[in-house]
Amino acid sequence: MAYVDTKAVWTFAAVIVLPLPLVTLLIIVNYWISWSRVQLISRNNLKHRWVFSCSTVLNGAYAASFVLAHGMSAYPGPPASSAPAAFVDLGVIVVAGLLRWIINAGMVMAAIAISDASRRVRDLFTNFSQQFLELGAYGLGLVVAVILVANPFVLPGVIVAIVVLHRSALVNQYQRASRQDTKTGLASAGWWHEFAEQTLARTDDRGSTMGLLMVDLDHFKRINDTYGHPFGDEVLQAVALELQAEVRDDDACGRWGGEEFAVVLPDVGSEDSLKRVAERIRLRIESLTLQPPGDVGLGDTVNLTASIGGAVYPAKGISTLDELLLAADSALYEAKNSGRNRVCLSPAGPKPVVQEPPGEDLPGIIPPGPSPN
């Protein structure tokens, strides 16, 4: 999750306008307060992590302070207000900010690599682009430093603006996170279920069709037992990418739980159309070849297969999402019991459309119309 680090804003502003002993005190007190607040909520015992985080910021601050002290026209203090000294000071501040960022990010990445020897180098750069948000925080820190010296009475307005933006960004990110499965990036089970309910209602209103697929990886437990859960997570991520590549933008893929995925397809058309989509997904998964970590599977390659069950709505005997899920799940069990690595659709056929004589109800036939949700 990426957001502007307010600690970076204030600590970098402090590095610019305060002497180093006060900067040290501010950073330590800041982290001590943050740790105390977390302790009151979670009672965790991860003091070493907080000490390490604080040390990364202190080391970055000391390096930035050294650059500023030897490059700025007057330090500590804001950049000069007249050219050419102002341009020189601004360039020095940029170099100091980059150095602080490199030291901070480098120490964190080194700690991650040391703590998990099996982690590959490329994994350390996952979501690395989010680190650039901290550089933006340094820019805000420069603005705060200038305002603090030039007109401190304006500072409360800046504080309010930063806090409000920070909180609103967090709310949006938490909402997005609640809709996303952290391991695969697909929809979470809760959000997928909500989307499927809405799709079912729209299908009734429009008189269209809706498809549902349940995708279950074959013998996934063997992969976890043989190569470990971290590699199992890589497998899930690879399958998730294949699912996203195969479905349309209007469809929704979700992680249903464990190694099982669910796909809802609005306006799917006929059972043949749904089966073609399911077969393409099956073949995509079957074509995956993954290499486990060298320390547990040197030279091994892992090939995957999946069993898929599906159902189309509307269908006879299906009027709710739970019934549609049950039909797709039953078809999935049929695919498993039939030998795996295959697609099976629910045997329930389309709901018959009956032309009724005016003013007459045919016994035993439900008149066509919107199905209850």
Q: What are the catalytic residues? A: 259
Q: Which 3-state string (H, E, C) describes 178-241?
A: HCECCCCCCECHHHHHHHHHHHHHHHHHHCCCEEEEEEEECCHHHHHHHHCHHHHHHHHHHHHH
Report the candidate in 270, 272, 277 with the shortest Cα–Cα distance to residue 210.
Answer: 270
Count each helix (H run) and each strand (E run) in the chain, helices first. Answer: 12, 7
Q: Which two tokens stand for residue 293?
A: 């970590």
Q: Which two tokens stand for residue 237?
A: 């991520």
Cis peptide before 84 (omega within 30 of 0): yes
Q: Which strands make up the sheet holding 306-313, listed edge to edge?
A: 252-257, 260-266, 210-217, 306-313, 343-345
Amino acid in the structure at residue 28: I
Q: Which helix (H) or strand (E) holds 279?
A: helix 271-286
Amino acid in the structure at residue 2: A
- What is the per-residue burial (b if ≥16 Cβ within 10 Å, else e) of 16-38? bbbebeebbebbeebbeeebeee
Residues 240 and 261: their CA atoms lie apart, in Å, by: 8
Structural contact between residues 279 and 309, judged by C-beta atoms closer than 8 angstroms: no
